[in-house]
Structure 1
Amino acid sequence: METQIIDDMMYQIVTKKINYGEKLPSEHELASEYKVPRMTVRNALTKLEERGYIYSKQGKGRYLKEKSIPIQLHLTGKTSFTDKMEKAGHELKTENVVCEKIKYSEQIYASLNAEACEDVFKIGRLRYINGEPIAIHASFVSSKMFPGIQQDGPKIQSMFAYYRSLGHKKFTSKKSMLSITFPTSEEQQLLSCKSMVPLIIVESDCIDVNTNKVLEHTKILYRSDRFKYDITME
């Protein structure tokens, strides 16, 4: 019966029988409607909340989340995330959350054409739109390619702006991959989301058009419950 409640609620959300921001029926009302114990209803609503569809207000009940923000999610690396968001008119804020040397990773080192003895750094930025954390951007770069990255890394908010300051002007990408994961406890804290909210992972390599050299390997985690995705190639 729990599954039926979830399915019915999802149908009402998809068919817009429940409006965004609208208060949902109480546990007591739903228990009476489905003729089940309140615990069954509570479990169903908890799962919908974990998946990011609804939220609770202390002492007031549960509500359907606001409509997700439509953004364009291109799988190419010709334009920076900052440029895309500003062009779309979104209020974007970036917080640099990590600059650290990583342990050897065959995948990342191979993407960067880096030797095992080279140092590779991870530059992580948390992205906010309209004050809400919505994505984690991780850029992996070789210190051989960018000798000052350890010192410069903690201050970087836009990797493309950093590359431009060093003379790289045009960018493209290769090996763009799209997959799904669920957030770790650390990612839940950064993104203010529940454990069952799927994250969209986009991985690619950023390449300097003029030299054809790989500048970075990029891994981006997007909250799937806050966006609609346009994967049309640029």
Structure 2
Amino acid sequence: MMQESDLQDATPRYLEIADVLQSEIVKGSYKLDERLPSEAQLCSRFRENRYTIRQALELLMHSGIIRSHQGKGHYVCEKPLNLQYTITPNTRFSNEITLLGCTPKAKLLKQEKLIPPEDIAVALKLGPEEDAYRLEILRYADSVPLAWNVTWLPSKYFPGLLDHTRCLGSLYAMLEGVYGMQLHRIWSTFQATYPTAMEASYLKIPPNTNLLHIESVMRDDDRQLVEYTSAKYRGDLCRVSIEFEQK
């Protein structure tokens, strides 16, 4: 049976340090825009090496709690990242993040063309031999990783798609510019979940961070089903609301 000391040992030291510093920031020990103690001072305080301290500080940076100024140190963010993301039939990630006063960014991590799994094929009403493009996209707000997306696009609607994704900024802007296609949401499902090890690594979060998993299907103006997306948003940074159409 695992003892209490074993449970404590199971928590990485840098996570403990990050939790202490975050708690102090929340309580007001460090004010907004105030400089944190230097790495050397934190090493002395926590009796840890510089590598461990840097891991803790990087975790707080990726959480939008502190920022780094080269040669000057780390500072408490003037405006902690707390995004109110609204889903409508025509929501666009880049537009929403820009309206919130942040800078959107998308990083394409992987792309391939293959026969989709059965559940994806059913969602997009594809035949057993019809293939699709699969894109893994990491989305950012103000350089902070916010969401992990896996998107499927039927190849019959987007010939030569992979020739247009090398410098991907906004997926929907590219689809509209290249294919003249505007997408509209027809349904979404929501579920709380935890990240896989790979997702936690890309999102720069501990594995016990809550994620909001949103699965959506989109159609074009001709009512063809043209996109399925599985998006996992960081629950520590983002609140998602649904805007219903006014009658």
TM-score past 0.5 threshold: yes
Residue-by-residue CA offset, 1:91-122 (whole Å, 9 max, x unaligned): 22222222112453122111111112111111
Counterpart contact for 1:128–1:135, Cα < 8 Å: yes
Q: Which runs of 5+ in 2 are unaligned?
A: 9-19, 48-57, 67-74
Counterpart contact for 2:115–2:129, Cα < 8 Å: no
User: Equivalent residue for 1:83?
Assistant: 95
Counterpart contact for 2:191–2:213, Cα < 8 Å: yes
Counterpart contact for 1:68–1:228, Cα < 8 Å: no
User: Equivalent residue for 1:184?
Assistant: 197
User: Equivalent residue for 2:126?
Assistant: 114
User: Equivalent residue for 2:168?
Assistant: 156
Please provide the CA RMSD for this pair. Answer: 4.4
TM-score, normalised relative to structure 2: 0.64
Shift of 1:150: 3.4
Structure-2 separation of matches of 1:219 and 1:115: 21
User: Equivalent residue for 2:242?
Assistant: 232
Q: What amino acid maps onto 2:222 in structure 1?
A: T
**Which structure is higher in RCO with an 8 Å CA cutoff and minimum separation 6?**
1
Counterpart contact for 1:143–1:150, Cα < 8 Å: no
Structure-1 separation of matches of 2:139 and 2:168: 13
Residue-by-residue CA offset, 1:39-65 (whole Å, 9 max, x unaligned): xxxxxxxxxx999799xxxxxxxx999
Aligned pair 1:168/2:178, yes or no? no
Q: Which runs of 5+ in 1 are unaligned?
A: 3-7, 31-37, 39-48, 55-62
Structure-2 separation of matches of 1:155 and 1:64: 33
Residue aligned with 2:86, SS: coil
Pairing partner for 1:214 from 208, 218, 225 = 225
Residue aligned with 1:185, SS: helix
Number of aligned pairs? 221
Shift of 1:151: 2.8
Counterpart contact for 1:76–1:176, Cα < 8 Å: no
Structure-1 separation of matches of 2:205 and 2:99: 30
User: Equivalent residue for 2:140?
Assistant: 128
Residue aligned with 1:110, SS: helix
Shift of 1:29: 9.3
Structure-2 separation of matches of 1:17 and 1:230: 30
Structure-2 separation of matches of 1:138 and 1:67: 29
Q: What amino acid maps onto 1:175 in structure 2?
A: S
Residue-by-residue CA offset, 1:167-187 (whole Å, 9 max, x unaligned): 223523313333322232354
Could you say if the C-alpha distance between residues 23 and 139 of structure 1 is closer, same or farther in structure 2, counting changes exceeding 3 Å? same
TM-score, normalised relative to structure 1: 0.67
